[in-house]
Structure 1
Amino acid sequence: MASVGSLLLLLLMSYILISTVTISTSANQRERENASLDKLKEHKEKLASAQKNGLKTAADTKNFGVLCLAILKDTAKLMESLSDKKSDIFNLAQSIGNVVPLVGSIFSLIMTLVIVIDKYVNDRSLLKDIKEEFDRLDAKLDEYHKLQKWNIWAAGVYHKPELDIRTAWTKYKTLLGSLAEAKNDDERKRHKKSFIKSYRQHEKAPREMGELLKKTGKSFISNLGDELAEHVKCHEKEILEYTFLILTLIIKGNVMNQYYYRLENTMSKAKDEEMMKNVYEAMTAMFDIQKRCIANSMTYVLQDVKPFIEKSKKRDDLAKEVWSFLQMAYDRYDWMVVAFITLKSSHKILKTENKHVLTGFHDVSTQRITVSVARQVKGTHSKVKKVIKAIEKCITKKVLCYKVADTLSKCGEEVAGIPVSKTYTAVHAYTRRAHQSIKAKEANPKARGEARAKGEATNEDDVSASPENPSAQTPYIYTGECQKSPGVKHRKFVVLIKSDEEMLGKDPCAKLDCKNGGKCVPIEDMFLAMCQCNYPYYGLHCESDINDYRIELKREAVTDRKEPTVKDSKRRNSN
C-alpha cells in the first residue's frame, strides 16, 4: 500500500502541473485567473510542506483536510474562468495545447485527492464539505468537456460547409453587383467566368450540410443535429433558431447552385429534385431532433438546475431564480419550484420529521440543498373550483402532511367523472409556516387572504417556492391544511391543478392548427403535439413557404440586406 509520503508527492506533482499552465485570455479573465493561480502557488507550498513533514498528528490531518477543501474551491474558480471563455476557446489553434493538459491535470488532481482524503481525513463535517466541492468541480469538468467537444467538432467538420456557403454568398452578391454595373457583354462574360471558376469549390457545401444532419451508422463524424441538441441542452427556442440558420444556409447554397448550373449549362430536373430533397430532409431531421428534445426535456431541465444550487444562496432566492430560468427556457409549461435543506426532508422511517414531502416532482440534490421542480403543459383552467371542492372533501385538517398525496390518490371523489387523482400534477406538503412564499396566485380566496395578512416567510426551515401565475389564467394552485403529527395543526400542502385539456384527456392535436397539409404528431407520454410539415412548407404551424423564402433570399442578394443570424453565446462568431 502506498505510504502517506508517496501519496502526498503524487498529489503535489498533480498540483504543480495545474499551477504552471498558462492560458491565453482577455485582460479581465487574466486578472481572475492570476488571482486563482496565486492561490494555487500558496497551496502548492503548503502541500510541499505537508509532503516533507508527513501527517503525524490529528491536527496535521485536520489541517490537511482544510487544505484539500481550499484546493478544490480554488480549482473550481479556475474552471469557472475557463467556462467564461466560450467564444475564445473556439479559436483553438493557440489555446488547445494549454487547455487540454490543464483539464487533464485537474482530473489527475481530483483522483489523487480522492485517494488521500479517503485514507487520512476522518472529520465527518469536513468530509461533507469536501464531498460537495467534489460534486461541484466534477460538474464543471463535465460541462467543460462537453463544451470543448462541441468546439472542436464545430470548428472543424461542421464549420466548413457553413463557411463555404457564407464565403460563396459574398462572392455571389459581388457578382450580381458587378453584372449590374458592367458596360458591355464582354465584361459581363468575364465576371461570370470568374464566378464559375471560384464557385466550383463551394458547390457541394449545401449537400454536405444536409448529410451532416442525417449522418447515421458507424462514422467518426457525429450527427450534427444530435450534437447541436446536446450543445444547446435541447432548449427549444435555440433549436428553432438553428433550424432557421441551417435552412437559410442550405437554401442559399441551392440558390447559388441553380445560378451556377445555368451558367455552366448543366441544370437538369434531377439536380433540381436533389436540391429540393436536401432541403426537405434537413427540415425533417431538425423536426425529429426537436421532437426528441421535447420528449427528453426533463433530462436537460435537471442538468440546467444543478448549477443554480449553491449553499451561499437563500432558498427563496434560489427557487425564484430557478423558476424564472425554467419559465424562459421551457415556456411550454407552468412550473413549480421548491428549494429546501436536504437532510431535513430525507427521513425514511420517521416520516413526520420531514419538513417537505413532494409528489410529482423531480429532484436535484446536493449534500445540503435540494431543488425540486414540477411542471405541466399550459392550458385553460375552468374546472379549478370543482377540483378544490373535491380535494376539500378528500383531505380534512386532521390528515398528516406526509399522507396527503397518498390520501388524494385513493380518494373516491370525482370531477366531471374524473377521479381526483387525475386532476393534479404535483403535491407539496410542508410542516413549517410558508408565509405564501409560493409565488402563485391562489385558487382559494381564503388562502390568498391569509397570505396577504401574514407576509413572506423568513424562517430558514420554511419552504421557498415559485411560481407566480405567469399567464393571467384562472389560478391553478390550491393550498390546504394538514397536520405535522397528531394534534400539531396548521401545516400546509399545495396542489398543482392540471389544465382542462390534460384533465379531460383531450387530443393535444385538437388545438393545433397544422396548415398546408401538415401532420400533427403527438409527443409520446406528454400532453403535447407538433406540426410535421410537407415540402415546401415550414414553421410551427407549417404556415410559411420555402419558395417565398427563396425569393426573399434572392432579393437580399441584390439589395444586400443583412442576413439572419443565430444569437448564441455558446457558439463561435462564424462571420
Structure 2
Amino acid sequence: MASVGPLLLLMMSAFFIISSVTTSPSADQSKHNKPLLEKLKQGNEKLKSALKNKQNVKNIGVLCLTLIKDIGNALKNTDHDILKSAASVASVVPVVGAVFSLLMTIAIVIDEHVNDKSLLKDIKEEFEKIDLKLEKHHRELKWNIWAAATYSKPEMKIRVAWTEYKTLLGSLAGAKDQDERKRHEKSFIEAYSKYEKAPREMGELLKKTGKSFVNNLGDELAEYVKCHEKEIIEYTYLILTLIFKGNMMNQFYYRLKNIQSEARDDEMKKNVYEAMAAMFEIQKQCIDSSMTYVKQDVKPLIDKSKKRDDLAQEVWDFLQKTYDRYDWMVVGFITKKSSHETIKTLNKHVLTGFQDVSTERITVAVSRQVKGTQSKVQEVSTAIEKCINKKVLCYKVAETLSTCGEKVAGIPMSQTYTAVHAYIKKAHQSIKKKEGNPKANVKDQADDEDEVNAAPENPSDQTPYIYTGECEKSPGVKHGKFVVLIKSDEEIMEKDPCAKQDCGERKGRGKCVKMKDMFLGICQCDYPYYGLHCENDINDYAIELEKEAGTQKNKPTVTDKRRRNKN
C-alpha cells in the first residue's frame, strides 16, 4: 500500500527525534504508561494471531483499522498526563516506540493483505490522525525541553529577585536607623549579584542567530503557540515585563554599589528596544504565515463522522475565536462530489477565494478578510443582484461577478468581495419526504446531509458581510445557491491600509507597516514608544513598576492585553 509510505516516514522522523532524548522516568510515570504499553502489546498479538489462523482479508483489514484507532486513543490519552514537563520525556519514548513498532507491522499487513478501497481510505485517514498527534507531541516535547532547560532560567531569576526587591523596600521603609538600613542594603547587594545578568540573558535569547545550541526564543515560541496572535501578544508583554523589572532592580543595585553610569543605562534601554523589535518581527512573520497555521489547526478538526454543516460551524467558531482579527467563511463537503473538471455542473460546490484543507474524503475550505465597518453592504448587494439573475449557472457565478460592469462608489464590482461559494442543494420537498418516509435509503440521507454545510450561510447582525443569492444547477434546473463574502468599507475604498492608521509618525513615535497579501497595516513603534498606535512612552512604565514594588496593588501598564496592532 504505497499511500501509507509518506505518513510512516513522517512518523519515523518524529519518533527518531523524540527517542533521541534520554531522561530517567519516575516510578509514577512508568506506572501510568504500563496500561498503554500493555494495550499496544495485546494489539500486536491479536494481529499475529489473525495472520497465523489465516483469517479472511476483510477481517484482517477491520482488525488493522481497530488497532490504528486504539493507537490514536492511546496517544490522545498522553496529551495532558505525560507531556507536562521535560522530565516526562523518557516516559513518552517507550509509548511512541511501541506505537511505531505496531504501525510498521500494520503497514506491512495492509500492503500484503488488504485490497478493499473503502477500507483502505478509512485506514489512511486514521494514519493521518496519528501523524498529526505525533507531530503535536513532538512540538510540545521540544518546547518543554527548551523552556525547562534554557528559557525559564532568566525568568525564574527575575521573579525571585523581584520578590527580594519588594521585601527590601519594605525593610528599608521600616528601618529604625541608618545602620539598620545599611545592613539591609548590604544583604540585598550580596543576594542580588547572581541575578544582575538575567534581563540581558532574556534579551539575548530573543536574538540568537546563526549556529548555536540555544534556539531563538521568539521562533520557538511562535512555533509552540502555532502563531496564535493573542498568545504571541501576551508572551510579548510577559517578556517585556520581566526585562523591565530586571532593569529597575539593576538600576537600584548599581546605585547601591555606586557604579551607575550612562553606559549602563544605555545598555538597558537597548535591551528593551531590541526585545520589542524582536517580538514585533515574530508577530509580523506570524501574520505573514498565519494561513499555514490555520491549516494546521483546521485539519485535526475534520471528522468524517460529523455532518458537514456541524463540521463547518465548528471550524468557523474556532477560527472566529482564535484568529479574531478576520471575518471567516467556512465550507465542509465530500471531496469527490466537487472534484469534477470536465462536467462542472456536476460539482456540488464551486469555490473562489478559498484555501482547501483536505483529508481522503472530506474537504474543509476556508476564506478570510480583515475585519472592518460594513456600511456599504447594501450597495454591494444591490450591485450583485444587477449582475446575477436566478438563471445564471452556479459554476459561473464567480466568473459573472468578476466580469460584471457594475460599480460601488466608483469601485469595480470585482474589488468589493473576497470569496464566492456557489453550491447545489436538494429541493425542500425532498427533505420533507424523507422525514415522512422512514424507509428513505442511506444515499438520500447522505445527500441531504449536504443540504446546508457552510458557515455562515446567511447574513445576520453578527455576519452582515454575507450576501446570499440563487443560481441554477443546470439550464432550467433550480435549487442552486451562492454566498458572497463582502469586503469591509475600508478595503473597498482604500488602496493603502496605512492611510487611516495613526502610528504617531509625524511625532517620531513609529510607522505603519503594510502586510503582504492582505489588507492590513500594523504599527511598528520606535523606542521608547509602544501601544496600539505607539501612543505610550515606555519610560513611564518605571512609575507603574515602582507602584507595584511599593504597594503591590497596581498592575504594570505593559501587562494589559490590548492589541498593539488591532485596526
Q: Under TM normalisation by the shorter chain, which class is it? A: 0.7 to 0.9
Separation in 2 of the partners of 1:207 and 1:545? 21
- 1:63 corresponds to: 59
Q: Does 1:245 align with 2:238?
A: yes
Give the one of 510, 513, 523 matched to 2:502. 513
Task: Indicate how the Cα distance of structure 1 residues 566 and 555 shifts in structure 2: closer, same or farther if over 3 A, else same.
Answer: closer
Runs of 4+ in 1 over 4 A off after TM superposition: 22-27, 33-39, 468-474, 562-568
Separation in 1 of the partners of 2:412 and 2:76? 49
Separation in 2 of the partners of 1:265 and 1:105? 61
For 1:450-529, list aligned pairs within 5 A.
459-467=448-456, 472=461, 475-515=464-504, 517-529=509-521
Q: What letter corresponds to residue 198 of structure 1 in structure 2?
A: A
Q: Does 1:397 align with 2:402?
A: no
Separation in 1 of the partners of 2:353 and 2:225? 26
Separation in 1 of the partners of 2:544 and 2:524? 23
- 2:72 corresponds to: 76
Separation in 1 of the partners of 2:299 and 2:232? 22
Deviates more, 1:407-416 or 1:525-534: 407-416
Task: Indicate how the Cα distance of structure 1 residues 301 and 474 shifts in structure 2: closer, same or farther if over 3 A, else same.
Answer: closer
Q: Does 1:43 align with 2:37?
A: no
- 1:113 corresponds to: 106
Task: Indicate how the Cα distance of structure 1 residues 396 and 76 shifts in structure 2: closer, same or farther if over 3 A, else same.
Answer: same
Q: Is the 8 A contact 1:65 1:121 kept in 2?
A: yes
Q: What letter corresponds to residue 77 of structure 2 in structure 1?
A: S
The alignment partner of 1:382 has SS state of coil
Deviates more, 1:230-239 or 1:270-279: 230-239
- 1:255 corresponds to: 248
The alignment partner of 1:521 has SS state of strand
Separation in 2 of the partners of 1:142 and 1:488? 47
- 2:129 corresponds to: 136
Give the one of 183, 186, 200 matched to 1:193. 186
Separation in 2 of the partners of 1:195 and 1:66? 69
Q: CA deviation at 1:362?
A: 1.0
For 1:23-422, list aligned pairs within 5 A.
39-50=39-50, 52-53=52-53, 56=54, 59-85=55-81, 89-93=83-87, 95-422=88-415
Separation in 2 of the partners of 1:250 and 1:361? 42
Separation in 2 of the partners of 1:126 and 1:378? 43
Deviates more, 1:411-420 or 1:239-248: 411-420
The alignment partner of 2:171 has SS state of helix
The alignment partner of 1:219 has SS state of coil
Separation in 2 of the partners of 1:386 and 1:139? 44
Cα deviation, 1:295-339, whole Å, max 9, x if unaligned, reads: 211111111111211123222222122111111111111111111
Q: Is the 8 A contact 1:433 1:492 kept in 2?
A: no
Separation in 1 of the partners of 2:34 and 2:155? 37
Q: Is the 8 A contact 1:36 1:74 kept in 2?
A: no
Q: What letter corresponds to residue 141 of structure 1 in structure 2?
A: L
Q: What letter corresponds to residue 298 of structure 1 in structure 2?
A: M
TM-score by length of 2: 0.85
Q: CA deviation at 1:37?
A: 5.7
Task: Indicate how the Cα distance of structure 1 residues 316 and 38 shifts in structure 2: closer, same or farther if over 3 A, else same.
Answer: farther
The alignment partner of 1:84 has SS state of helix
Q: What letter corresponds to residue 75 of structure 1 in structure 2?
A: I
Separation in 2 of the partners of 1:431 and 1:509? 40
Q: CA deviation at 1:243?
A: 0.8
Task: Indicate how the Cα distance of structure 1 residues 469 and 534 shifts in structure 2: closer, same or farther if over 3 A, else same.
Answer: farther
Q: CA deviation at 1:157?
A: 1.1
The alignment partner of 2:448 has SS state of coil
Q: What letter corresponds to residue 98 of structure 2 in structure 1?
A: S
Q: What letter corresponds to residue 47 of structure 1 in structure 2?
A: L
Q: What letter corresponds to residue 294 of structure 2 in structure 1?
A: V
Separation in 2 of the partners of 1:462 and 1:491? 11
Task: Indicate how the Cα distance of structure 1 residues 204 and 323 shifts in structure 2: closer, same or farther if over 3 A, else same.
Answer: same
Q: What letter corresponds to residue 128 of structure 2 in structure 1?
A: D
The alignment partner of 2:212 has SS state of coil
- 1:450 corresponds to: none
Q: CA deviation at 1:422?
A: 1.6
Task: Indicate how the Cα distance of structure 1 residues 108 and 504 shifts in structure 2: closer, same or farther if over 3 A, else same.
Answer: farther
- 1:439 corresponds to: none
Q: CA deviation at 1:97?
A: 1.4
Task: Indicate how the Cα distance of structure 1 residues 102 and 131 shifts in structure 2: closer, same or farther if over 3 A, else same.
Answer: same
Separation in 2 of the partners of 1:358 and 1:463? 15
Deviates more, 1:395-404 or 1:472-481: 472-481
Q: Is the 8 A contact 1:380 1:473 kept in 2?
A: no
Q: Is the 8 A contact 1:381 1:473 kept in 2?
A: no
Deviates more, 1:406-415 or 1:243-252: 406-415
Structure 2 portions without partners, runs of 5+: 1-14, 429-445, 562-567
Q: CA deviation at 1:72?
A: 1.1
Cα deviation, 1:519-540, whole Å, max 9, x if unaligned, reads: 1111122111111112222112
Q: What letter corresponds to residue 61 of structure 1 in structure 2?
A: V
Cα deviation, 1:359-381, whole Å, max 9, x if unaligned, reads: 11111111222111111111223
Cα deviation, 1:481-536, whole Å, max 9, x if unaligned, reads: 21112221131111111122212233212232224622111112211111111222
Q: Is the 8 A contact 1:523 1:529 kept in 2?
A: yes
Task: Indicate how the Cα distance of structure 1 residues 63 and 473 shifts in structure 2: closer, same or farther if over 3 A, else same.
Answer: closer
Give the one of 526, 529, 542 matched to 1:537. 529
Task: Indicate how the Cα distance of structure 1 residues 478 and 472 shifts in structure 2: closer, same or farther if over 3 A, else same.
Answer: closer
- 1:571 corresponds to: none
Work out the percentage of aligned pairs sharing the same amino acid. 68
Q: Is the 8 A contact 2:513 2:524 kept in 1?
A: yes
Separation in 1 of the partners of 2:196 and 2:108? 56
Please tell me the root mean square deviation across aligned C-alpha atoms, in Å.
3.0
Deviates more, 1:220-229 or 1:378-387: 378-387
Q: What letter corresponds to residue 299 of structure 2 in structure 1?
A: K
Q: Is the 8 A contact 1:169 1:256 kept in 2?
A: yes
The alignment partner of 1:136 has SS state of helix
Separation in 1 of the partners of 2:199 and 2:460? 42
- 1:555 corresponds to: 547
Deviates more, 1:540-549 or 1:234-243: 540-549
Work out the number of aligned pairs and report it.
519
Q: CA deviation at 1:36?
A: 5.5
Deviates more, 1:268-277 or 1:372-381: 372-381
Task: Indicate how the Cα distance of structure 1 residues 413 and 531 shifts in structure 2: closer, same or farther if over 3 A, else same.
Answer: same
Q: Is the 8 A contact 1:319 1:371 kept in 2?
A: yes
Q: What letter corresponds to residue 529 of structure 1 in structure 2?
A: G
Q: CA deviation at 1:382?
A: 3.0
Cα deviation, 1:147-169, whole Å, max 9, x if unaligned, reads: 11111111111111111111111
Q: CA deviation at 1:280?
A: 0.8
Q: CA deviation at 1:466?
A: 1.6
Separation in 2 of the partners of 1:365 and 1:26? 40
Q: What letter corresponds to residue 417 of structure 2 in structure 1?
A: Y
Task: Indicate how the Cα distance of structure 1 residues 313 and 340 shifts in structure 2: closer, same or farther if over 3 A, else same.
Answer: same
For 1:11-22, list aligned pairs within 5 A.
none
Task: Indicate how the Cα distance of structure 1 residues 535 and 264 shifts in structure 2: closer, same or farther if over 3 A, else same.
Answer: same
Q: What letter corresponds to residue 502 of structure 1 in structure 2?
A: E
Q: Is the 8 A contact 1:398 1:482 kept in 2?
A: yes
